[in-house]
Structure 1
């Protein structure tokens, strides 16, 4: 590319790959943040430089057609379009720069297509999180991505850290559109929107998101959705380790009057938000839960499916939390 950036612009690179300049047109975060609101609302894909950013199979120039097919197509064509989108933008559950560009449009398509809303929300959450590789550890379960994460490069050579951050910031910018879905009649949608909102960048409207999650939790009747709401609250506090949330999670898991799934997910969140030894009482409580019906319930929620897609996520998650020495590869991913 001919663009060389401006003097003083920070640079990220890897041996043998292209050079990228932060805060320029080579930075997908910069580009996504400057998509005009009217272009997003009117699905004006033409304002986006799709050719400049790639997915798993090449330039993102084919993404607008697939998005439009999902927005307007019939069932058969939509399924074909989804196949193209997810195989390109979330190949092996790993996002990309072209996927970050698609986030604002996918948010709006989710509002229009109730029949595919849950699936789109799952995709949005995937684009806004690093590849976890089954990491359910105390440092991994609630980790979306952070500036100090190990550098990851996409198949195109592009800096994947920037793609994830761009997707997270796009979710944060349009969180107001997604918040009403916390009241959607479909419990899978309510789970999905909690998962997606939890990945939103922690700046900006984060406080509004957290407040909305609390409001929904007070009236939510679905156990699986309640579990997702608690984990979302914990995740949004993870990067800053908010003391008030740490104390709240401790209070919730110790409260026998609260539903079992709320207590278990509060205990998991507390472990992720703290660094000390696992208290004996907390471990006994979680071990008991892992052998009961609650484990099957939690095994189907998005966070646990990322740990184990076969439904054994809670047990695997606890093993990773109790015995980090058995999983050094997860630690190495974050060094």
Structure 2
């Protein structure tokens, strides 16, 4: 395909489908897969075709400048650049086609202990690698990473391809994230879990690392995030062992309350069984006001909505539909 042909023709897509561009330089999955280690490690932005792909406000030509600003020693400048990236490459949960190209660099910024807003940077990488489910805490959606449904971004590009490419980028740099499971920053550790859970590959190795970290982690938010990350990987990669593992955790009275709650939510998403009475009883006793306030910041739970754990429990246990009016039974 010549440079003159590197234009995404939406009329051709309407006639022939997105398969017309599969495996070509206009397939962002192909571009991400071809990005060399040297380009990623040395932040060689000039070798990445940013303008070929887009975000909510047009061409991605402005993205490398914002990524460069993320490495600034000035925290305010980093915050502003991060805000602009959030508002464009994953605008209102829509993953733009340029978003996957940012993921390798976002992971490297977050891996730099001297960088600012590292948890937020990881959060952006995770958002690029999963289908948004804001407001959805149901058993079918809570641990949902990908989708078979064809989705398009603001520019008409196949969002499924963009999410897949981002997940591939996470898998390719899993080692960077695995190291962050031991970071001194609690928010970074929780965000690393949320990002690792999107990986398209390395699931067994990542799962082993998450479970190993759970044996030493002391912070409730991170412990819950470790459990949910294992469950999400198990669901996405159809690991039959995950359901029994989460069941053993939520039914074990010696486990910390946050581990049991996260495991209960996970188990409900992994099986089709009706909600057992003993699980309802356990959650009613474990979800105290103080612990609910803590767990509301767990990435999966925080992304349901501002009601956090209470909204999630209501949707999972009572089959309440997202967006429905309700009274908080946990208040």
Match of 2:155 in 1: 156
The offset of 1:69, in angstroms, is 1.5
- TM (normalized to structure 2)? 0.89
Structure 1, unaligned runs of 5 or more: 6-11, 330-335
The offset of 1:291, in angstroms, is 4.8
Instruction: Please say if 1:304 is aligned against 2:305.
Output: no
Structure 2, unaligned runs of 5 or more: 325-331
Match of 2:248 in 1: 251
Q: Determine if contact 1:20/1:26 at 8 Å carries over to the other structure.
A: no
**Aligned equivalent of 1:326, options 312, 315, 321:** 321
Q: Determine if contact 1:151/1:159 at 8 Å carries over to the other structure.
A: yes
Q: Determine if contact 1:69/1:81 at 8 Å carries over to the other structure.
A: yes
In 2, Cα distance between the equivalents of 1:74 and 1:314?
35
In 2, Cα distance between the equivalents of 1:174 and 1:189?
16
In 2, Cα distance between the equivalents of 1:314 and 1:78?
30
Q: Determine if contact 1:122/1:192 at 8 Å carries over to the other structure.
A: yes
In 1, Cα distance between the equivalents of 2:173 and 2:18?
31
Match of 2:124 in 1: 123
Cα 1:116/1:143, change in 2 over 3 Å: same
Which runs of structure 2 are paired with 1:197-208 in the superposition (5 Å)? 197-201=196-200, 203=201, 205-208=202-205
In 1, Cα distance between the equivalents of 2:78 and 2:136?
32
In 1, Cα distance between the equivalents of 2:36 and 2:260?
42
Match of 2:327 in 1: none
In 2, Cα distance between the equivalents of 1:209 and 1:108?
18
In 2, Cα distance between the equivalents of 1:324 and 1:15?
40
Q: Determine if contact 1:227/1:262 at 8 Å carries over to the other structure.
A: yes
Q: Determine if contact 1:241/1:273 at 8 Å carries over to the other structure.
A: no
Cα RMSD of the aligned pairs, angstroms, is 2.3
In 1, Cα distance between the equivalents of 2:297 and 2:139?
20
In 1, Cα distance between the equivalents of 2:220 and 2:107?
25
The offset of 1:254, in angstroms, is 0.6
The offset of 1:53, in angstroms, is 0.5
Match of 2:280 in 1: 283
For the residue of structure 2 that corresponds to 1:97, the secondary structure is: coil
Q: Determine if contact 2:177/2:192 at 8 Å carries over to the other structure.
A: yes
Point out the more displaced range, 159-168 or 66-75: 66-75
Cα 1:325/1:261, change in 2 over 3 Å: closer
Cα 1:192/1:328, change in 2 over 3 Å: closer
Cα 1:37/1:54, change in 2 over 3 Å: same
**Aligned equivalent of 2:291, options 294, 315, 320:** 294
Cα deviation per residue 1:195-254 (whole Å; 9 max; x = unaligned)?
1111111x2x22111111111110001111101100001001012332211111111111
In 2, Cα distance between the equivalents of 1:77 and 1:173?
29
The offset of 1:137, in angstroms, is 0.8
Match of 1:133 in 2: 134
- TM (normalized to structure 1)? 0.88
Which runs of structure 2 are paired with 1:214-293 in the superposition (5 Å)? 214-293=211-290
